[in-house]
């Protein structure tokens, strides 16, 4: 009997699927950062404060291994934020 890992399992997954999953995750992080940055440009003081808090939290939550990929998306999205 042949058993396969669950569909969502990373172990044993097709390398192409893993690559696409990493690409999608990096793009999602960059989009969230872009949206938080867009809120920062609003002149309403409360929204700017919320945007800065959200942006700070997002930057802290991006996994270190993904930061380079997320930075590439941030460049493509033309936002000012960059990850260290």
- For the chain, what is the total number of helices (H) and then of strands (E)? 3, 0
Q: How many structural domains does the chain have?
A: 1
What range defines the domain where residue 33 resides? 15-76
**Residue 8 falls within a domain, yes or no?**
no
**Residue 23 falls within a domain, yes or no?**
yes
Q: Mean pLDDT over all residues of the chain? A: 82
**Out of 5-9, 16-20, 24-28, 34-38, which region has the weakest mean confidence (pLDDT)?**
5-9
Predicted local confidence at residue 57, as pLDDT: 92
């Amino acid at each position: 009997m042949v058993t396969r890992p669950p569909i969502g399992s990373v172990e044993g997954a097709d390398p192409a699927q893993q690559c696409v999953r990493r690409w999608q995750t990096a793009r999602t992080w960059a989009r969230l950062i872009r949206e938080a940055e867009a809120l920062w440009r609003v002149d309403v003081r409360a929204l700017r404060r919320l945007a800065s808090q959200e942006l700070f939290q997002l930057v802290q939550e991006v996994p270190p291994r993904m930061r380079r990929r997320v930075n590439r998306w941030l460049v493509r999205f033309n936002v000012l934020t960059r990850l260290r």
